[in-house]
A and B are shown apart, each in its own frame.
Chain A
Amino acid sequence: EAEVAQSPRYKITEKSQAVAFWCDPISGHATLYWYRQILGQGPELLVQFQDESVVDDSQLPKDRFSAERLKGVDSTLKIQPAELGDSAMYLCASSLAQNYGYTFGSGTRLTVV
């Protein structure tokens, strides 16, 4: 069964450092989402891509977060500088189009110390 690949699975970084997460969606899936999930809460959307274009980044803290999907395939989410409050699970999901259900990756667990 096709999967959404994310790496790394775990990341520990010091505050003020830069950190990057990578996501490879299911082949052919045009829509890609980055969500952040704080322990004990539901995921919250950070950014949504349709192919290589950003269609929703209203909840992305743009002073420190950036996301790109240059060729409309895999995507990178970057945080610079990291803050203690950024500790969370970062989930990537993809769907065939905006009308289809999501497949989530296993996530990247970020701990900022």
Chain B
Amino acid sequence: TQLLEQSPQFLSIQEGENLTVYCNSSSVFSSLQWYRQEPGEGPVLLVTVVTGGEVKKLKRLTFQFGDARKDSSLHITAAQPGDTGLYLCAGSRGTSYGKLTFGQGTILTVHP
């Protein structure tokens, strides 16, 4: 059983469209991270959110941590083919970052 559930599992869109990926749990996390992974490579950290309700923006990417710190979302505006990849959310429980528990990932494909 996944502690973190991501949805959708697959997303195929056209260049220029907007999209949102969700990460949900019944557990409270002290922090949550989002990673992007390309085929054959390790995950690369995009952002860390630690405060309930926190919103962080990274160019066309907007990350939000739920008020209760049980869920998070990643919104991409005007998607580009270079955004294609596996997006992973990962949560840490307790008072420090420590060990991360990963969701199963969302595979995003952006077509030119």
Contacts and interface: CB of A to CB of B under 8 A. Distances in A.
Do the two chains belong together in a single complex? yes
Interface residues of A, number: 24
Contacts, number: 58
A110 interface: no
B97 A101 contact: yes
Interface in A77-113: 91, 93, 95, 98-107, 109
B85 interface: no
Interface stretch (A14-22, A38-46, A61-69): A38-46
Interface in A22-63: 33, 40-45, 48, 56
Interface of B: 2, 4, 6, 33, 35, 40-45, 48, 88, 90, 96-105, 107
27 contacts: A4-B42, A40-B104, A40-B105, A40-B107, A41-B105, A42-B6, A42-B88, A42-B90, A42-B102, A42-B105, A43-B88, A43-B102, A45-B101, A98-B96, A98-B97, A98-B98, A99-B96, A101-B48, A102-B45, A104-B35, A104-B42, A105-B42, A106-B40, A106-B41, A106-B42, A107-B41, A109-B40
